[in-house]
Homo-oligomer: A and B are copies of this chain.
Amino acid sequence: MIKVGIIGGSGYTGLELIRILLNHPEVEIAAVTSRRFAEKAIADIYPHLTGLIDLKFEDVSIDSIAVRTDIIFTAVPHTRAMAYVPEILKHGCRVIDLSADYRLDPAVYEDVYGVPHSDPRSGVVYGLCEINPAPEGANLVANPGCYPTGAILAAAPLVRAGIVNRVIFDSKSGVSGAGAEPTAVSHYPNLAENIKPYKVTAHRHLHEMIQELKELNPAKISFTPHVIPSIRGILTTAHIILEEDVDEDEVQAIFDKFYGDKPFVRLKGIPDLTSVRGSNFCDIGFQLQEGSDRLVVISAIDNLVKGASGQAVQNMNLVFGLDERTGLMNPCLYP
């Protein structure tokens, strides 16, 4: 059994790791940390876990966790992860980092996040599994952001094919992406019956999209996020301006070839959030605007699964040489 630690277990991505790992056949959850709830039984703070987990939240040193575990998920805000990761690695323990700290080139990171990077290193895998599968044995994987996961998966095959001039990602996210703390955005009377655009041209996740897509081919990339009245899910509408004429069959062939053997990408119709809720799938569909140079590709993910903790477990499977599907082939919660 793989012994797993979760640093920052009381936020939504930490709780989602617990949910997924409890049913993973090769994993034992060995430690879950939380400063705020130190020494409290996890199931007392989160009654939905009663009967399923007997651990307490711990508030102990990174070292003390690292010596007990084979791999640690750092589900903490950015800047905190880069303080912990070197300590963990020196124990020979592996890390899947769910924060933003290792996703970007350190120089870009410092510019985008406005803080110095205390652990700049090159060669960290950007763990978007369908595009950069982490090699077996990798000791540090940067788990992609939620928006970049859905956005890059929607556009990558076409960008790789060299037929894209410009992509405008218009994304709609459930509010769990904003975290477990109540805010004006998550206040029910503000969000119900509403949709809120935010960081309309300047969300930090844009830089992950630019970085990863330019590896494939040049294209102009823009991104506008919105919060919708949904707990989970990100639907991304990728408005793609094409460099050259293609028909829908050609587009289909490009997607089929790119994702043919990927178990978590499903190409079928126009997707929506209902079909991926609680699952690790990324559903992708598209339609060409007749007589136009515009193609619309739509992707749907659960932001807490494929957009965070599910993909983190997929990365864990890869670095331990397991089938990437292990513990993750659950049907979505429909309806």
The oligomer's copy count stands at: 4
Q: Residue of B at shortest CB range from A286?
A: B200
Contact of A182 among B186, B279, B289 (CB under 8 A): B186
Q: Residue of B at shortest CB range from A23?
A: B330
Interface 9-residue window, one of A112-120, A156-164, A267-275? A267-275
Most buried by B among A241, A278, A334: A334
Q: A188 and B331: CB pair below 8 A?
A: no
Q: A292 and B197: CB pair below 8 A?
A: no
Known contacts A172-B172, A197-B235, A231-B335; A187/B187 CB under 8 A: yes
Q: A176 and B198: CB pair below 8 A?
A: no
Does chain B have a CB within 8 A of A12? yes
Q: A331 and B168: CB pair below 8 A?
A: no
A contacts, CB < 8 Å to B: 12, 15, 18-19, 22-23, 46-52, 166, 168, 170, 172, 174-176, 180-184, 186-198, 200-202, 220, 222, 224, 226, 228-233, 235, 237, 239, 241, 263, 266, 268-279, 281, 283, 287-290, 292, 294, 296, 298, 329-335
Give the 5 A-B CB pairs with smallest separation, nearest first.
Answer: A189-B335, A201-B289, A48-B275, A182-B182, A182-B187
